[in-house]
């Protein structure tokens, strides 16, 4: 008898932007893989009616849930609510569990978790701590909750001496924004996948910023990821070619990724983003649990570089959910 896999994904808003709508591509890709693996596939779109979600999923009574819910209502604050529902139902579900999902959906809280396990991350400040900013350093103001680089672009980078900018951001919501020291260095987006031998760090991807004018901040902002008509999109490239002297850096990045996975309780598949200082010190700038599985996304690019098919990725993700 076929096992039933329920794909749970976020109900889209009436006019979704690309960063929200790409979940449909993921649903289609996962569906094809699951059907090829001889699963019976069903679907549920989750929204803020959690009572309905609980009763509806109970009626379907799947053997496994493939969790593709990125947010609910397209609000970052609700990212972990799908996990809360699935955790309550006690049905095996893919990806990271509720507690790490809660910690990592709040970027400022994630920094505290990293500090607690001894993993370096750029210094962070609440908007109440603007007086601690140094005039000789650069900083970036980030949304606490949002994913997909929403509200993140070069205009978010500022100098600690820019009192006008600091006065402006100090009026923002302290519950929705924080400040982080801006690391003007190399950027790596590193994917990690469950294997029977422990977390496997896939080929290391470096994001390169090509022909950026002097003074233009090199960041993976919203335009770099989603606006295909922008300078940032066309001049940002992913490469898996590391330099001949990058051996020690590669070893350190792999070590940090495995440490985060093991000590913070990750499962399934994860992407960790790093900035590396000119002194070759890697700092974690973001943790993406259940990252995008679209074919153009970083996780699948690293999987393909490793030689894994989409089906092989899905098999491993389900294995980690059901073991």
Which of 23-32, 71-80, 90-99, 150-159 bottoms out in mean pLDDT, i.e. has the lowest?
150-159
Phi and psi angles of residue 181, each rounded to the nearest 5 degrees, phi first:
-65, 130
Q: Which residues contact 116 (CB under 8 A, 6 or more apart)?
A: none
What sign does the dihedral 298-303-307-308 (CA atoms) show?
Answer: negative
Tens digit of each residue's pLDDT (9 = 90 or more) over 35-53: 999 999 999 999 999 999 9
Tally Cβ neighbours within 10 Å of residue 296.
10
Whole-number CA gyration radius for the chain: 20
Using pLDDT thresholds of 50, 70 and 90, give the confidence band for residue 152: low
Q: How far apart are CA 312 and CA 302, in angstroms?
A: 13
pLDDT digits (tens, 9 = 90+) for 142-151: 989 876 555 5
- Give the residue among 155, 139, 8, 19 at the shortest CA–CA distance from 76: 19
Among left, alpha and beta (phi > 0; psi -120 to 50; other), residue 239 is beta
What confidence score (pLDDT) does residue 151 get? 56
Per-residue confidence (pLDDT) for residue 216, from 0 to 100: 83
Please tell me the predicted confidence (pLDDT) of residue 150.
Answer: 55
Q: What's the longest Cα–Cα distance across the chain?
A: 67
pTM of the shown model: 0.93
CA–CA gap between residue 306 and residue 158 (Å, rounded): 38
| Confidence bin at 196 (pLDDT 50/70/90) | very high
Residues 6+ apart with CB under 8 A from 228: 234
* Helix (H/G/I), strand (E/B), else coil: 20: helix
Question: Residues 200-246: pLDDT tens digits?
Answer: 999 999 999 888 888 787 887 777 777 778 887 888 889 999 988 99
**Residue 200 parent element (H or E):** strand 200-201
The structural domains of the chain, ordered by start, are: 4-93 (3.40.50), 104-119+185-204+240-322 (3.30.470.20), 124-181 (no CATH)
**Pairing state of beta strands 4-10 and 40-46?**
parallel
pLDDT of residue 200: 98
């Amino acid at each position: 008898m076929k096992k039933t896999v329920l794909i749970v994904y976020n109900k889209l808003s009436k006019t979704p932007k690309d960063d929200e709508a790409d979940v449909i591509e993921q649903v289609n890709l996962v569906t094809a893989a699951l059907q090829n693996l001889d699963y019976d596939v069903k679907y549920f779109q989750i929204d803020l009616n959690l009572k309905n979600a609980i009763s509806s999923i109970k009626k379907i009574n799947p053997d496994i849930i493939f969790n593709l819910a990125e947010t609910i209502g397209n609000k970052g604050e609700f990212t972990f609510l799908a996990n809360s529902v699935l955790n309550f139902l006690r049905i095996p579900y893919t990806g990271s569990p509720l507690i790490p999902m809660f910690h990592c959906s709040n970027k400022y809280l994630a920094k505290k978790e990293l500090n607690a396990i001894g993993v370096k991350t750029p210094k962070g400040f609440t908007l109440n701590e603007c007086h601690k900013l140094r005039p000789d350093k650069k900083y970036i103001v980030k949304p606490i909750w949002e994913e997909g680089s929403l509200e993140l672009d070069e205009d978010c980078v500022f100098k600690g001496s820019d009192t006008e900018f600091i006065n402006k951001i100090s009026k923002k919501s302290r519950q929705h924004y924080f400040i982080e020291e801006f690391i003007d260095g190399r950027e790596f987006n590193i994917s990690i996948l469950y294997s029977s031998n422990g977390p496997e760090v896939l080929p290391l991807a470096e994001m390169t910023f090509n022909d950026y004018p002097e003074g233009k901040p090199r960041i993976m902002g919203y335009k770099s990821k989603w606006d295909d008509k922008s300078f940032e999109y066309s001049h940002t490239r992913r490469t898996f070619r590391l330099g001949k002297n990058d051996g020690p850096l590669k070893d350190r990045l792999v070590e940090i990724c495995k440490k985060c996975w093991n000590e913070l309780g990750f499962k399934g598949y994860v992407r960790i983003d790093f900035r590396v200082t000119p002194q070759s010190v890697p700092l974690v700038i973001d943790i993406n649990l259940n990252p995008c599985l679209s074919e153009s996304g970083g996780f699948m690019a690293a999987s393909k570089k490793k030689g894994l098919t989409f089906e092989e990725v899905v098999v491993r993700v389900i294995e980690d959910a059901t073991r």
